């Protein structure tokens, strides 16, 4: 029996979506769905829920929960990764509260910025432990990474872990549909091209029945900016740089030096920026799960309809040799020619029986490549810090982060990094 292993299976709803999708795909019916999580209670809950889905949909997939990670991985053909090292409490709280003491505010803090740097530093060692196990027990497996910070973790698994890894993010999947819905434009007949880096990929082309939609999009976006709405940061970036960016306004507010500025507090209201958004979401998700858990657990026949998650479509494309297109995060092997070759980029990819094939993009418009490089700088120096265990590279990553550098002095950035290292304690390896 072939095996799909889900690491972080205690993310119950996401595991239900991804593996429930697999249970609906004929080509995957002979697979074992292997569940692994460090939390035995959440692992058991996911096992029970997935067995309920299995009964309802009539799948012949076998569901097995493992307490031993290496055994969960042994013989896997595909691996799905959805871990969060340190969780909401204590690590996410630390990533937000310590920077506040320096006057540095954040919205999501899971990609770049000071929060993204430290999320990487505590996650990379765990990912490399995964890579060791994979090299030993399933070296040919395809690793699907859903965990943020996407670009850095996918880069590390490919470059240092020696694992065939593609990073998958929802932002590319929903970008065009959500933009057009927001502006009241019919989605039928629309074609688009997206490329860049994760959370900062660009809608390079968008046409409807062969006609360029950008003039209409920009006109309607300017009209929208007259009133408060949820996407004001992205519309402002499009106005100034010419292109729409894939990830949400709350994310992009902290990827650039223009929006969250203590010297200009009025920008927060002007662009409707939700500071401390991710902690609020965490609390809401925890409370929502506590409310729904007993009801879901008590159901003997949970329904499931196939979602838009890429995983099951990728597996099916490989098993059936039926080509399928995705937006994937992969190493920049000459794909985007004006971004560093060491970077992880997000580009269109074709999937078939031979695996995942990234497509050539060429040069991005120069202003877009320049914006991407401001984030790539911090990503690559974060990797340097993690792989050398040299504290100086943590400082370098933070000093070059656009938002952090726009708000704090060099001395304060170094002091903040030291405070975060101390606050995270054993969640981080020892840095010299």
Q: Please enumerate, by residue number, every residue annotated as part of a binding site.
A: 148, 169, 199
346 φ/ψ angles, rounded to the nearest 5 degrees: -115, 115
Long-range pairs of 45-48 with CB within 8 A, sequence gap ≥ 24: 45/10, 45/12, 45/293, 45/297, 46/9, 46/10, 46/11, 46/12, 46/15, 46/16, 47/9, 48/297
Q: Determine how many CB atoms are found less than 10 A away from the CB of residue 52.
A: 21
Query: What is the Cα–Cα distance from 92 to 77, expressed in whole angstroms?
Result: 32
| Residue in 129, 128, 92 with CA at minimum distance from that of residue 113 | 92
Bridge partners, residue 277, by sequence: none
Query: What is the Cα–Cα distance from 376 to 339, expressed in whole angstroms?
Result: 9
| Catalytic choice (30, 170, 229, 396) | 170
Query: What is the Cα–Cα distance from 356 to 165, expressed in whole angstroms?
Result: 10
| Cβ 345 vs Cβ 167: under 8 Å | no
Query: What is the Cα–Cα distance from 277 to 213, expressed in whole angstroms?
Result: 32
59: alpha, beta or left? (left if phi > 0; alpha if psi -120 to 50): beta
Point out the annotated binding site for substrate: 148
191 cis-preceded (ω within 30 degrees of 0): no
| Cβ 94 vs Cβ 119: under 8 Å | no
Taking the CA atoms of the chain, what radius of gyration do you get in angstroms? 21
In degrees to the nearest 10, what's the CA dihedral of 331, 334, 337, 342?
Answer: 40
| Cβ 123 vs Cβ 150: under 8 Å | no
Q: Mutual orientation of helices 391-399 and 366-388 as an angle, nearest 10°?
A: 160
Q: Determine how many CB atoms are found less than 10 A away from the CB of residue 355.
A: 14
90 cis-preceded (ω within 30 degrees of 0): yes
Q: Is 170 a catalytic residue?
A: yes
**Strand stretches in 171-276, DSSP E:** 190-197, 200-208, 211-212, 244-245
Report, as residue numbers or ranges, the catalytic residues.
170
């Amino acid at each position: 029996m072939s095996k799909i292993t889900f690491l972080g299976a205690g993310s119950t709803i996401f595991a239900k979506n991804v593996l429930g999708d697999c249970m609906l795909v004929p080509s995957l019916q002979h697979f074992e769905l292997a569940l692994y999580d460090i939390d035995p209670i959440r692992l058991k809950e996911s096992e029970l829920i997935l067995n309920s889905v299995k009964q309802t949909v009539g799948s012949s997939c076998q569901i097995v929960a493992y307490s031993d990670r290496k055994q969960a991985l042994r013989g896997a053909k595909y691996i799905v990764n959805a871990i969060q090292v340190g969780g909401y409490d204590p690590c996410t709280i630390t990533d937000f509260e310590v920077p506040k003491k320096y006057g540095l505010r954040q919205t999501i803090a899971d990609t770049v910025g000071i929060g993204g740097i430290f999320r990487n530093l505590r996650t990379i060692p765990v990912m490399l432990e995964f890579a060791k196990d994979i090299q030993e027990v399933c070296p040919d497996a395809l690793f699907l990474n859903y965990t943020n910070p996407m670009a850095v973790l996918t880069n590390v698994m490919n470059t240092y872990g020696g694992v065939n890894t593609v990073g998958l993010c929802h932002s590319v999947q929903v970008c065009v549909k959500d933009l057009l819905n927001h502006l009241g434009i019919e989605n039928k007949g629309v074609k688009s091209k997206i490329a860049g880096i994760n959370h900062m990929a660009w809608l390079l082309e968008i046409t409807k029945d062969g006609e360029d939609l950008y003039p209409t999009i920009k006109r309607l976006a300017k009209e929208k900016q007259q009133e408060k709405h949820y996407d004001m940061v992205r519309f402002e970036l499009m106005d100034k740089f010419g292109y729409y960016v894939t990830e949400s306004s709350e994310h992009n507010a902290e990827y650039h030096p223009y929006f969250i500025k203590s010297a200009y507090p009025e920008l927060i209201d002007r662009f409707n920026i939700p500071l401390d958004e991710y902690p609020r979401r965490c609390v809401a998700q925890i409370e929502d799960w506590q409310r729904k858990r007993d009801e879901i657990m008590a159901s003997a026949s949970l329904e499931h309809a196939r979602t838009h998650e890429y995983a099951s479509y990728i597996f099916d494309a490989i098993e059936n040799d039926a080509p399928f297109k995705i937006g994937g995060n992969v190493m920049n092997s000459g794909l985007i020619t004006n971004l560093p070759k060491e970077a992880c980029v997000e580009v269109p990819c074709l999937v078939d029986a031979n695996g995942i094939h990234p497509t050539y993009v060429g040069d991005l418009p120069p202003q877009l490549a320049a914006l991407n490089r401001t984030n790539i700088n911090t990503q690559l120096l974060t990797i340097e810090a993690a792989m050398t265990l040299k504290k100086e590279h943590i400082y370098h990553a933070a000093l070059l982060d656009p938002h952090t550098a726009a708000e704090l002095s060099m001395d304060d950035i170094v002091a903040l990094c030291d405070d975060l290292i101390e606050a995270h304690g054993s969640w981080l390896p020892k840095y010299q």
